[in-house]
C-alpha cells in the first residue's frame, strides 16, 4: 500500500531579499540605508568641521 498523505513544506522567506512595497524586507533595507546615511552625515561633520548642509554648499 502507498502512503496517500501529502507533506507540505513551506519555503522560508528570505529576510535579506530585495522586495518592494510594505514588506518586512523593504523595511529592513530602509533601516540599513538610513543608518548608512546618518553615519555618513556624522562623519562629514566630524572630519570637515562643518555641518552637513554647509559642507554641500546648501546653506
Q: pLDDT tens digit string along 32-49?
A: 999 999 999 899 889 988
Please report, to the nearest 10 degrees, the dihedral formed by the alpha carbons of residues 14, 17, 20, 24 taken in order.
Answer: 50
Please name the helix (run of DSSP H) or strand (run of DSSP E) that holds residue 28, with its range, or none: helix 24-48
Q: Is residue 5 part of a domain?
A: no
> Is residue 11 situated within a structural domain?
no
38 lies in some domain: yes
**Confidence (pLDDT) at 4:** 67
- Is-above-0.75 flag for pTM? no
CA 31, CA 42: separation in Å to the nearest integer? 16
18 domain-assigned = no
Instruction: State which residues form the domain around 45.
Output: 24-55
Question: Which has more confidence, 6 or 41?
Answer: 41
**How confident is the prediction for the chain on average, in pLDDT?**
81
In the chain, how many domains are there? 1
Kindly state whether residue 32 falls inside one of the protein's structural domains.
yes
Handedness of CA 44, 45, 46, 47 (dihedral sign): positive
Amino acid at each position: 500500500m502507498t502512503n496517500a498523505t501529502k507533506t507540505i513544506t513551506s519555503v522560508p522567506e528570505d529576510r535579506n531579499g530585495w522586495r518592494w512595497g510594505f514588506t518586512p524586507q523593504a523595511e529592513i533595507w530602509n533601516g540599513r540605508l538610513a543608518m548608512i546615511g546618518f553615519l555618513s552625515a556624522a562623519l562629514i561633520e566630524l572630519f570637515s568641521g562643518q555641518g552637513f548642509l554647509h559642507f554641500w554648499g546648501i546653506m
